[in-house]
């Protein structure tokens, strides 16, 4: 201590103290970082909500009202949750064209994921609703494909067809094809029930059930689907099969018959 | 060689082995006389005469592949758990029928290909019968003496439909189960007996545990047995009646111009069989049909959208889909007109085409035999009726697939259904009128060609400045072909009063017949074919205007 005390007037002492103080502060900062980060996140959250509100005012308010309360052209968004926003906006369904047909179709999404998250944050702030699912929720790990198939045939196939090729509803509405739809969006659709689709909250179809259904769809209507037997012909059943049979089955055979009949044996003149 | 030589030298007069076998067989089977009279049977050449062959060969293919499938199929509805090689169905409960069909598709060598050949061949078989039937219809080949054979063919078509339907139901998958449920609904809609028939057929409440086994014996034994008999009868009658032919020089009602059965047609037909087999096998190899593994096992509480039957039952499906859901409730009983009327119409539409030859025969009163085919244009009313019938048929096929049409053409399913409903009534009328006009137009063109020759496209300028197109007279052969057909005269009832001024009694049926006859053969319905006098008059002079 004497040694230290003797040098307290050293020209560099102030520098050492400063370094120590900085290290201390740095250390403390590092130690308390999570708490502070959370605080920072809060501000980010409110920032996201503010940004989301701006995006909302530009892209959504004309139909859904300035505060998401809904209007003559669009339903209230209070309580629909972030999952609904993520589904509708990232599949391009929202914002919808001013004059759409019977049903808002899927189209090109014009927002970045960051913007969608901001919008979702704003809408979620209006009232509690389902959150955007995480990868663990819709990922394939721990899913029972066969169970998913059974659930799909029980709950989904009557509109979306047995492997999710889509189908018709009344008056021009339709259940869209589920080919190339991202697992996240399928999960969100089940959770929130967009447009004509009924919603399947966790009380109806549990998280595990949803995971199973997504895994089944991926198995029968995904990129790596094994499809024995040749061309699928749209996977629509007997209508396309009948058309194919008439045109390429019987059509070819008639062409062959014409060909055979045109090549008749020439009788020898004797 | 040496043995044969030594044999002949040892026992003179003893025939070679082959001849002895032939003798032995002929002595017991009498093949020789049969073969001798039939080997040189003549068949005319035309591609449309080969449509029946397409049907025959696809029928044979169906039988052959069907036998293979029976070796592995278990017609049972006992519940089993799936442990085969298709992952997305692992551990699912299903009937043994469905399980064994999955087994055929994934675990039996060549099973899936054979299944697909069997199913594609069925689709082609019935489509082939349909087109064959239309060929016979539009060329008037159903006229005397072939009415019975027409009925045989019609029965084959209808039985083919039901054989197809029962076969499609056997795998007990979600799609066919829905189809069977549909059929059960149709049966239930029959007043009074419907419920009893349904309980009898399914051995109790639908679906029960019996229908797969029952459909199985219907599908593999009962219906194909009857069909095989009818096919044989159909072919025997074709042999007996001899084949029809199109009009042409040298072809009369009393001869058949063509090639002999042996060797030409045997070779052609044999080759054609392999072509048919090849085409169907190719289609089966490249295109999936009825992927039951994707459809899943049948459970009465599940259903998929786009649940249609195979195309030949599509008309029935369309009738039901287009029909408004009417029902009458009386004294605690329900009469489901929304299902029962389509069921009746299904029969009526089919019977209409089957009964047509008899109606036409009654109207014409023609008792002669006809072996020369009509060109469709020369029988405008018949052709128009046929096209009207086809219009109803195809409108109903659209009705049966209304959801697929709606989604794929971005239409409202309600709009498609309304289109079908209106077209069902309006379509055939328009088709009838348009077809008849087209036929008459073609008759006029034929007449013009006969009288004035073919337009050559060569334009000549006459010395006084007029431009004319050179018409080239038709050859004798062409003239014959265009004028060979008979033209009926409308039936006349005769004077309304007899020679004593007393009103003659004319039966109501005769009045109807006269009306129909007028509609068939009156001035409005056919163009009088050019007479020899007309032809001479025009061709004798110079210039024709």
B46 CB neighbours in chain A (<8 A) are 261
Optimal mutation site among A100, A101, A249, interface B, most CBs of chain B within 10 A: A249
Residue A48 pLDDT grade (very low, low, confident, very high; cuts 50, 70, 90): confident
Look at residue A41 in the predicted model and tell me its pLDDT: 56
Q: Scanning every residue of chain B, which has its alpha carbon at the shortest distance from the alpha carbon of A257?
A: B47
- What pLDDT digit, counting tens, does each position of A100-158 carry? 678 888 888 889 988 898 888 888 888 888 888 888 888 888 889 999 999 999 999 99
- In the block, which residue shows the tokens 């002595």? B27
The reply, when asked if residue A160 is annotated as ligand binding, is yes
Q: Which of A145, A158, A220 sits opposite B303 (nearest CB)?
A: A158
Q: CA-CA distance, A63 to A238, in Å (whole number)?
A: 42
With CB atoms and an 8 Å threshold, state whether A229 touches B288: yes
Nearest to A237 by CA among B215, B157, B400, B318: B400
**B-chain residues near A161 (CB < 8 A):** 304-306
Which chain A residues contact residue B403 at CB under 8 A?
167-168
Is A159 annotated as ligand-binding?
Answer: yes
Q: How far is A162 from chain B (nearest CA, A)?
A: 5
Check whether A60 is labelled as a binding-site residue: yes
A185 marked among binding-site residues: no
User: Residues B387-392: contacts with CB within 8 Å, 24+ apart?
Assistant: B387/B431, B387/B432, B387/B435, B388/B427, B388/B428, B388/B429, B388/B431, B388/B432, B388/B435, B389/B349, B389/B352, B389/B353, B389/B428, B390/B134, B390/B431, B391/B423, B391/B427, B391/B428, B391/B430, B391/B431, B392/B349, B392/B424, B392/B427, B392/B428
3-state secondary structure of B81: strand
Chain A neighbours among B 175-214 (CB < 8 Å)? 175
Residue A39 has pLDDT above 60, yes or no: no
Residue A241 in 3-state DSSP?
Answer: helix
Nearest to B127 among A154, A161, A250 (CB): A250
Residue-wise pLDDT for B257-271, tens only, equals 888 887 888 888 899
Query: Considering only CA atoms, which of A192, A188, A182, A196 is closest in space to residue A105?
Result: A196
Two tokens, residue B283:
């289609």
Does the structure show a pLDDT above 80 at A6? no
CATH 3.30.497.10, domain B50-374, yes or no:
no
- Contact criterion met (CB < 8 Å) for A230 and B299: no
* pLDDT tens string A215-246: 999 888 888 787 888 888 888 889 999 999 99
Residue A64 annotated as binding site: yes
pLDDT of residue A270: 44
Q: What pLDDT sits at residue A62?
A: 86
- Taking an 8 Å cut-off on Cβ atoms, the answer to whether A245 and B112 are in contact is no
pLDDT in tens, B64-108: 999 999 999 999 999 999 999 898 999 999 999 999 999 999 999
What is the SS3 assignment for B195?
helix
Shortest Cα–Cα distance, B268 to chain A (Å): 8
Q: For residue B49, which of A260, A246, A249, A252 has the smallest C-alpha distance?
A: A260
Structural domains of chain A, with CATH: 40-131 (1.10.760.10), 133-225 (1.10.760.10)
Give the global pTM.
0.87
Q: What is the pLDDT of residue B9?
A: 47
The answer to whether residue B245 neighbours chain A at the CB level (below 8 Å) is no
CB contact under 8 A, B306 and A161: yes
- Residue (of B482, B494, B488) closest to B525 by Cα position: B488
Of A150, A239, A253, the CB nearest to B276: A253
Rounded to the nearest 5 percent, the helix, strand and coil shares of chain B are 65, 10, 30
The mean predicted confidence, pLDDT, of chain A is 85
Subunit contact B288:A167, Cβ cutoff 8 A: no
* Residues of B with Cβ-Cβ distance to A162 under 8 angstroms: 174-175, 294-296, 304
Which range of A1-15, A56-70, A239-253 scores highest in mean pLDDT? It is A239-253
Handedness of CA B302, B305, B311, B314 (dihedral sign): positive
Q: Tell me whether residues A220 and B294 touch, CB distance under 8 A.
A: yes
In a mutational test of the A interface, the residue from B56, B178, B318, B404 whose CB has the highest number of chain A CBs within 10 Å is B404
Under-70 pLDDT residues of chain B:
1-13, 541-545
**Given CB atoms, is B131 within the 8 Å cutoff of chain A?**
yes
Whether residue A156 is annotated as binding a ligand: the answer is: yes
Cα angle vertex B307, ends B305, B309, to 5°? 170
* In A139-209, beta strands by DSSP E: 167-168, 174-175
**Interatomic CA distance for residues B54 and B48, integer angstroms:** 10
Tokens 């009313």 appear where?
Answer: B381
Check if B47 contacts A (Cβ < 8 Å): yes
3-state secondary structure of B507: coil
**Contact between B291 and A233 using a beta-carbon 8 Å cutoff:** no
């Amino acid at each position: 201590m004497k040694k230290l005390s003797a040098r307290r007037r050293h020209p560099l002492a102030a520098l050492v103290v400063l370094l120590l103080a900085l290290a201390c502060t740095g250390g403390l900062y590092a130690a308390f970082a999570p708490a502070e980060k959370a605080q920072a996140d809060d501000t980010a959250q409110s920032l996201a909500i503010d940004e989301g509100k701006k995006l909302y005012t530009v892209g959504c308010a004309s139909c859904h009202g300035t505060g998401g309360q809904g209007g003559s052209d669009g339903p209230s968004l209070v309580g629909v949750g972030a999952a609904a926003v993520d589904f509708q906006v990232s599949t391009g369904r929202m914002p919808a064209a001013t004059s759409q047909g019977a049903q808002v179709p899927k189209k090109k999404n014009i927002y970045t994921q960051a913007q969608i998250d901001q919008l979702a944050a704003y809408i979620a702030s209006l009232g509690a609703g389902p959150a955007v699912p995480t990868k663990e929720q819709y990922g394939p790990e721990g899913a029972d494909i066969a169970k998913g198939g059974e659930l799909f045939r029980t709950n989904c196939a009557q509109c979306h067809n047995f492997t999710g090729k889509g189908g018709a509803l009344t008056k021009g509405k339709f259940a869209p094809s589920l080919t190339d739809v991202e697992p996240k969006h399928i999960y969100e659709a089940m959770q929130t029930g967009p447009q004509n689709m009924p919603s399947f909250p966790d009380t109806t179809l549990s998280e595990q059930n949803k995971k199973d259904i997504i895994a089944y769809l991926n198995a029968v209507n995904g990129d790596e689907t094994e499809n024995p037997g040749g061309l699928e012909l749209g996977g629509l059943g007997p209508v396309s099969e009948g058309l194919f049979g008439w045109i390429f089955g019987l059509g070819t055979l008639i062409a062959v018959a014409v060909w055979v009949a045109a090549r008749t044996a020439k009788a020898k003149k004797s | 060689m040496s043995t044969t030589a030594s044999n002949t030298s040892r026992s003179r007069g003893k025939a070679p082995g082959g001849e002895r076998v032939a003798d032995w067989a002929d002595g017991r089977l009498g093949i020789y006389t049969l073969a001798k009279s039939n080997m040189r049977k003549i068949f005319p050449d035309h591609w449309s005469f080969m449509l029946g062959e397409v049907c025959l060969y696809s029928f044979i293919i169906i039988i052959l592949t069907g036998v293979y499938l029976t070796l592995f199929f278990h017609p049972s509805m006992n519940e089993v758990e799936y442990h085969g090689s298709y992952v997305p169905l692992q551990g699912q409960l299903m009937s043994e029928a469905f399980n064994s069909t999955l087994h055929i598709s994934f675990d039996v060598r060549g099973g899936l290909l054979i299944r697909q050949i069997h199913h594609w061949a069925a689709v082609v078989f019935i489509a082939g019968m349909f087109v064959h039937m239309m060929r016979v219809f539009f060329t008037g080949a159903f006229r005397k003496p072939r009415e019975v054979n027409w009925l045989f063919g019609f029965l084959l078509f209808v039985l083919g439909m039901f054989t197809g339907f029962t076969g499609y139901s056997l795998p007990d998958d979600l799609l066919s189960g829905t189809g069977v449920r549909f059929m059960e609904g149709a049966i239930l809609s029959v007043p009074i007996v419907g419920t009893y028939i349904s309980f009898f057929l399914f051995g109790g409440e639908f679906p029960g545990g019996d229908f797969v086994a029952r459909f199985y014996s219907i599908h593999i034994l009962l219906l194909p047995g009857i069909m095989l008999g009818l096919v044989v009868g159909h072919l025997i009658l074709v042999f007996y009646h001899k084949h029809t032919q199109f009009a042409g020089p040298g072809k009369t009602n009393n001869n058949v111009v063509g090639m002999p059965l042996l060797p030409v047609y045997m070779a052609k037909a044999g080759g054609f069989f392999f072509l048919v087999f090849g085409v169907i096998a190719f289609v089966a190899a490249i295109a999936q049909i009825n992927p039951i593994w994707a459809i899943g096992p049948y459970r009465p509480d599940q259903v998929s959208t786009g649940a249609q039957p195979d195309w030949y039952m599509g008309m029935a499906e369309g009738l039901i889909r287009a029909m408004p859901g009417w029902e009458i409730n009386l004294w605690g009983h329900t009469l489901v007109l929304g299902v029962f009327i389509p069921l009746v119409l299904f029969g009526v539409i089919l019977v209409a085409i089957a009964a047509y030859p008899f109606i036409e025969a009654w109207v014409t009163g023609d008792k002669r035999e006809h072996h020369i085919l009509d060109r469709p244009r020369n029988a405008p009313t018949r052709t128009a009726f046929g096209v009207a019938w086809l219009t109803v048929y195809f409108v109903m096929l659209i009705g049966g697939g209304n959801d697929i049409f709606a989604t794929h053409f971005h239409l409202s399913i309600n709009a498609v259904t309304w289109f079908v409903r209106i077209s069902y009534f309006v379509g055939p009328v328009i088709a009838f009128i348009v077809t008849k006009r087209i036929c008459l137009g073609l008759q006029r063109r034929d007449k013009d060609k006969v009288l004035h020759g073919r337009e050559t496209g060569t334009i000549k300028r006459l010395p006084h400045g007029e431009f004319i197109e050179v018409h080239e007279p038709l050859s004798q052969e062409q003239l014959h072909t265009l004028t060979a057909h008979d033209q009926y005269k409308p039936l006349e009832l005769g004077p309304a009063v007899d020679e004593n001024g007393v009103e003659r009694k004319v039966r109501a049926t005769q009045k109807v017949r006269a009306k129909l006859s007028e509609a068939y053969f009156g001035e409005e319905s056919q163009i009088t074919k050019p007479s020899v006098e007309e032809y001479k008059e025009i061709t004798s002079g110079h210039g024709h205007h």
